Structure 1
Amino acid sequence: MKFLSFADTKIDAFLHMQLMDLAKTLSRDPSLELEFSYHSYLNKPVHVIHVSQFWMTYPGPVQLHGLKSEVYLRSLGNFYFSDLSLLQEALHTYRKEEHHQFLKHLLLFSEDYRLEKECIARRPGMTASFSERKKVLLTYYQRQLRQHLQQRKWLDAFFCSIFLLANHRFVKLSSPLSGFYDKLRDPLLRLNRAESTREITEIMQVIQNILRDFDVLDMAASYLSFYESSALTFKDLVRENEVKTPHIMETEEETDGQETEHEEMPSWHEETSSPTDSFLQFELDQGTSTDLLGEGGRRAEEGDQAFGAVQAGAKRSKGKDFSGEMDAGLNEKGSAPGKDVFPYGEMNRYAVEKKVETKLPTSQDLIKYYEIKSAVQPSISLLKQSFLKTIEHKKNVPNQDLHFGRLSKKLTRLLTDKNPRLFYKKMESPQELDAVFTLLVDCSASMFDKMDETHQAIVLFHETLKAVRIPHSIVGFWEDAADAKKDSQPNYFQEVISFNHSLKNQYGPEILQLEPQEDNRDGYSIRKKAEDLLKRKEKQKFLLVFSDGEPAAFDYENHGILDTHEAVTHTRKLGIEILGMYISNGKVTEEAQNLMKNIYGSHQVVVPSAAELVSYLVPVLRKLLFRLS
């Protein structure tokens, strides 16, 4: 469980799913995924659209329009109307240029500007989102222009002024920007009228030649990105062809054939046994150097390992047609890698199920259990009586004089009544309730001050269902943080009440063995228990989840909410009713309400404190039992 979060950007699960559905619809690619990144771009070979977190700081309506506009540009614009190979080829040639960052940004901006007009022409309904996008970006780039002018970063300022001028915002160009504009005026006007990627790249060649005469530093800021991919080879996988920074290349040239003297630079981090007297503190970057975002190495993504393994096994294509190698990342069904490989979700591919055996209850457990049972007995009796009264009422409901059913022998009403009721229903013999319940209890470390009250709610749940003869199970779940590794995350399940023992009087004190443990991986646990419920023969299946906050486990915090939401959605599609109960720390906050809404939708209850859990659970159980009766 996560206690504190600093600079935490939470992604609304419903917003994520909405944007993902929109991207799949526009691109007509069912395997397309969507991720939030530093910049927006299309990674077509692995079927991923990246949208920028730039919009997450804006209010709801503006944020939605901004994110939708990026989905439009990538899933419709880049997907269908961009020549990605030409863009890659052009960006590759810019690497040799002194002003390669400016050339890269101008090329990508010109392509997005053209694609925006293309999208609006084909889909006029996109106009509102693009208008809101333009309004926000004009304000942003005007602010950036003033900042770059103060810092005398001339090419950065010139790029911002190009954006403003292209969108009909007046900009007063002082020296040296006016000189840049005079030299590039004609090709810039041609870029504004370009109608294809090829035309843009041809005009950029002219700008590339003119820029060689500019005696000014290259752009330092990074506003736009593009995924520059190539077919993976064996050397790529073993990192024999790493892209080396100019500093490394220069050092290798200087030291070739010469004796070198190495200077030691002591450093310290949390795994260093003993720091030296003086040390430098700096960040250690891991991975191949790349200019994907213009600011350091690309962070590894979830599908990299699976995608790399598939690519390594792909056969070399014939000639220069690399489309076959690009398609090697898909499985036989045409979906992205990992979709069918990981039955419990891609984020849980290394989760391992571990079962904890329940011990025999001690005499102290028996005494404490019956004390708790006595405390909640009034609520149990109330629920039982309400349930039995409802069943009795349904048995006594008149089944004569109906408008449909079996035809009665009293047909004289055809003559005596204006609207005769001539039908009846046959009395059915009472049957046992065809339902089953599972209660999942979060046993993460943050439950340490709430477990006693949670025990009372669990006892209420168990004794009520036992009183009305409904089979059920109670399972505590947690992940062992100490043993969790990158390729193995043990998840423990302690079934204190099983389906087979739930209706027997001697079982119940085992509930007190549920104690706070480590982390919680909710999405994986929900999928596992839903799988157990599917094996039951009962017609109606219910899954309740007691939790006290956001899912948090090894390599799970950034995706825990979305993975749990997907698990809940998948469980409901299987015909299992799922309800979440959030136990707060004294008061209900807006953050807690949004968290539960993002995960469980409208089927959730936020409890202000653990002491009120029993009082909140009573109406929940009453409502569920009324549905069954």
Structure 2
Amino acid sequence: MSSVNRFIQFNNETINAKRMIQLEQLARALGRSPYLTLTVRKLMEFRPKEGAVSISHFWNHRDPEIEQKGQLSDLYLLTSGFWRHFDLAAWDTYKKKVSHLPIREFALQLAISAEEFRLSNLIRQERPGTDSAFVIREEVYTTFHEQQLMVNFSKGFMSDSLFSFLYIALRKGSPTSILIEEYPSYFNRVLAKWQFVFDSKSTAESCQICLDILYLLEEEMMKDLTHIFISLHENLKEVPVYEEKNKRRIDQQDSDDLAPSESIEEMFRTWHRESEKQQGPHLEFELTKGNKGKTNNGRVEEGDESNDIDSEGSGTSSANKKSKQTAKMNGKSEKKQTKQSGERFGDEHQNVTFEEKKINQKANHNLKNTISIIRAEQKPYVKAFTKEMRKRMDQKQESKRTRLSKGRLTPNLTSLLTEQRPKPFYKKNNPSLPMDAVFGLLIDSSASMIDKMEETKKAVLLFHDVLRDLSIRHDIVSYYEDAYEASDQEQPNSFLFCHQVEDGLKDHSEAIFSLEAHDDNRDGLAIRWMAERLLKRSEKHKFILLFSDGEPSAYGYAANGIIDTAEAVIEAEKKGIHLLHLFLSAEQPVEEQLQLFHMMFGAKTATAKNVDEFTTQTLRLLRRMLYLVVK
């Protein structure tokens, strides 16, 4: 669904998909956790429920080098520092000791700040190549805290001022240069204890230093932090909520007697194992024996295995409940051949169910006449294009080569007598072969396509006719998500075939002209699904052509749809599948739209600036693809 033309321009921010994919791969490598995902939030965070770590939005809209190095420094701290060197047991003990203090949030953020300093130095020692990222991090954050120090002190926010004061003291190297006479005297006393952070070797030592500072501040500061500088600690004790049958186990996990995980890495892996256990239709069952008691007018009869079955019932998990309810229409039960996406199509589509079926052709008496008229208009394009392709194929076949020093002996051997250096050999031409290629055309059938669908049908018909003339097998598939039926438990999607590879060179023009706009679109899912189909084919060259008019948008997919689509493109290319994208627009595309699609598809994207260009751009993309086959 097209959504790049948002009304509020300052809120119209897109994620650099390629950059996020690179950072996520780096996070997985550093954390040695292939399940780890990466997100961007206001501040750095661990998110165990999502199996994710989050880098800070703080670095956005800065110079490219600062943005890149800053994001890397966040990633290094999360995956090389806190990931396995932060002691959760010591942290839990510290949290209990400060829980009663009026400046509790100051206490928690101060301890994380001390740990950040300790771990950044540890990472620098282990990985000297990270030093440049931490240098930029400290310069930018020090400048930020210097500004916050003055502003918060002038407003009387003493906890916030002290926090910035102590942050600067660790990074400046000569803390006395930042002291101002107007500051309270306890700032200096706190600083004397804070300097022991330079010698801290563990989380427990950092927490003890912070406790000493808090005891000193017990009668000095009663007001907690006004601002949040660090949120790294907020989600570390998230508790999973599973089915009611697991409630006792969850209560045990919440109890204080339960030994906590030693590290964040161990905690994340425990979460990952638990989430894997919860996947699947655990509540599905079939009752096929009458071994339970019966009731008759309130009287209960004892159960017996010999009892006859009065009725059979089947239970379902919530993921399948809705689809089965919608299968009953007009008093008739219609069984859908739905499939579960699961893990094979990516984490963003875990709860997707999809249906593969042929499109319902419209009953229109004038449709054949309409198709004939359109084909007559397109015939010159089709004829010229196929002629060009065949000519290039013929040029590829070299003419008979004679007068060679090796090969087959020619019947005419007079050159042996007439020439000083005879070359009586020749080589035969290679036999002409059909194009060894297969195509998959994906058509975004989201609601925003409604004003472009008629021209899209013409472009798809042209695609269909050209490939039929060249004897190239192909799929033509419309895809969409049912927005009204989508929920947290299930997101139903449909793939409608206008033409299948197995149909060979059959004419399915009427099916093409039955295309309609529906609801939402999951481009990443569609690309992976088509790639899976094409990989089963034996053809050497495999192509996906995607017709779309906007960024992906579906239930729970808007935030990560761009990144997921970019990942799907990269995965397809790694498998040897060439992918090209045609951006369909009824008006001149804006620069922001072009940047968005270059972000998802790289240089493999083209734009139809108006509906009249759909046909021209389709031919251009086909030519670009087929040149790879005949070159």
Q: TM-score, normalised by structure 2?
A: 0.78
Q: Deviations over 1:584-612 (max 9, x none)?
A: 35224332222222222222223323321
Counting only pairs closer than 5 Å after superposition, residues 136-155 of structure 1 correspond to structure 2 as 136-155=140-159
Q: Give the superposition deviation at 1:48.
A: 3.3
Match of 2:548 in 1: 547
Specify whether residues 183 and 312 from structure 1 end up closer, same or farther in structure 2 by C-alpha distance, changes over 3 A only: closer
Tell me the CA shift for residue 385 of structure 1: 0.7
1:397 CA drift (Å): 3.7
- For 2:136, which of 132, 135, 140 is the aligned residue? 132
Match of 1:563, as an amino acid? D
Q: Which amino acid aligns with 1:56?
A: N
Q: Is 2:528 the partner of 1:521?
A: no
Identity of aligned residues (%): 26
* Aligned-partner SS, 1:178: coil
Whole-angstrom distance in 2 between the partners of 1:401 and 1:216: 100
The answer as to 2:88 corresponding to 1:84 is yes
Distance between the aligned counterparts of 2:133 and 2:55, measured in 1? 14
SS of the residue 2:501 aligns to = coil
**Residue in 1 aligned with 2:41?**
37
Q: Pick which of 598-607 and 549-558 moved more.
A: 598-607
| Counterpart secondary structure, 1:513 | coil
For 1:454 and 1:535, locate their aligned partners in 2 and report how far apart those are by CA, in whole Å.
28
Post-superposition shift, 1:204? 1.5
Task: Quickly say closer, same or farther: Cα 1:549–1:313, change in 2 above 3 A.
Answer: farther
Q: Where does residue 61 of structure 2 map in the other structure?
A: 57
Matched residue SS, 2:162: helix
Structure 1 residue 461, shift from structure 2 partner: 0.7
1:269 aligns with none
Aligned residues of 1:462 and 1:502 also touching (Cα < 8 A): no
List per-residue Cα deviations over 1:567-626 (Å, max 9, x = no partner): 222223333222111123522433222222222222222332332122222222112222
Q: Which residue of 2 aligns with 1:219?
A: 225
Residue of structure 1 aligned with 2:439, choices 437, 449, 467:
437
Counterpart CA distance in 2 for 1:187 and 1:337 is 50
TM-aligned CA deviation for residue 238 of structure 1: 7.7
Return closer, same or farther for 1:336/1:432 CA change in 2, 3 Å cut-off: farther
Does the Cα contact within 8 Å between 1:231 and 1:325 map onto a contact in 2?
no
Q: Is the 8 A contact 1:42 1:78 kept in 2?
A: no
Return the alpha-carbon distance in structure 2 between the equivalents of residues 165 and 321 of structure 1. Answer: 33
What's the counterpart of residue 608 of structure 1? 609
Q: Secondary structure at the match of 2:366?
A: helix
Residue 456 of structure 1 deviates from its aligned partner by: 2.0
**2:222 counterpart of 1:191:** no
Residue aligning to 1:302: none
- Secondary structure at 1:486's aligned position in 2? coil
> C-alpha separation between the residues in 2 aligned to 1:46 and 1:313?
21
Structure 2 counterpart SS, 1:57: coil
Partner of 2:178: 171
The equivalent residue for 1:453 is 455
- The answer to whether the 8 Å contact 1:580/1:603 transfers is yes
Q: Which amino acid aligns with 1:599?
A: M
User: Which amino acid in the other structure matches residue 130 of structure 2?
Assistant: M
More displaced 10-residue stretch of structure 1: 312-321 or 609-618: 312-321
Give 1:131-530 correspondences, 5 Å limit.
Answer: 131-168=135-172, 170-175=177-182, 177-227=183-233, 229-230=236-237, 320=259, 322=261, 327-331=269-273, 341-354=342-355, 355=357, 357-359=359-361, 362-400=364-402, 406=407, 425-501=427-503, 503-505=505-507, 507-530=508-531
Instruction: Tell me, yes or no, if the aligned pair for 1:32 and 1:47 is still in contact at 8 Å.
Output: yes
SS in structure 1 of the partner of residue 113 of structure 2:
helix
SS at match of 1:439: strand
Q: 2-side partners of 1:45 and 1:350: how far apart?
A: 16
1:491 is paired with a residue of what secondary structure?
A: strand
Within 2, Cα distance between the matches of 1:571 and 1:313? 45
Gaps (5+ residues) in structure 1? 241-307
Relative distance call for 1:613 and 1:502 in structure 2 (3 A) is farther
* AA at the equivalent of 2:134: F
Q: Distance in 1 between matches of 2:68 and 2:38?
A: 15
How far residue 350 of structure 1 moved from its aligned partner, in angstroms, is 2.1
1:400–1:232: structure 2 CA closer, same or farther, 3 Å change rule? farther
Q: State how far apart, in whole Å, the 2-side matches of 1:582 and 1:443 are.
A: 13
Matched with 1:108 is 112
| RMSD of aligned residue pairs (Cα, Å) | 3.7
Over 3 Å counting, the alpha-carbon distance change for 1:315 and 1:215 in structure 2 is closer
CA deviation digits over 1:501-525, x for unaligned, max 9? 45234x3132121122211111122
Q: Given that residues 545 and 582 in structure 2 are in contact (C-alpha distance below 8 angstroms), is that contact kept between their aligned partners in structure 1?
A: yes
For residues 161 and 531 of structure 2, the distance between their equivalents in structure 1, rounded to whole angstroms, comes to 56
How much has 1:551 moved relative to structure 2?
A: 0.3
Would you say the 8 A contact 1:120–1:126 is kept in 2?
Answer: yes
Contact kept, 8 Å, 1:435 with 1:539, in 2: the verdict is yes
Structure-2 separation of matches of 1:75 and 1:387: 52
- Provide the rounded CA distance (Å) in 2 between the counterparts of 1:212 and 1:547: 62
CA distance in structure 1 between the partners assigned to 2:253 and 2:138 by the alignment? 45
Count of matched residue pairs = 553
Higher relative contact order (CA 8 A, sep 6+): 2
Q: Indicate if the aligned counterparts of 2:528 and 2:572 stay in contact, CA closer than 8 A.
A: yes
Give 1:328 shift: 3.9
Of 95, 98, 104, the match for 1:94:
98
Give the C-alpha shift of residue 538 in structure 1.
2.6
2:100 corresponds to which letter in structure 1?
Answer: K
Q: Distance in 2 between matches of 1:422 and 1:129?
A: 69
Q: Is the 2:159–2:223 contact (alpha carbons within 8 Å) kept by the matching residues of 1?
A: yes
Q: In the TM superposition, what is the alpha-carbon distance from 1:10 to its structure 2 partner?
A: 2.3
Contact kept in structure 2, 1:474 and 1:495, CA below 8 Å: yes
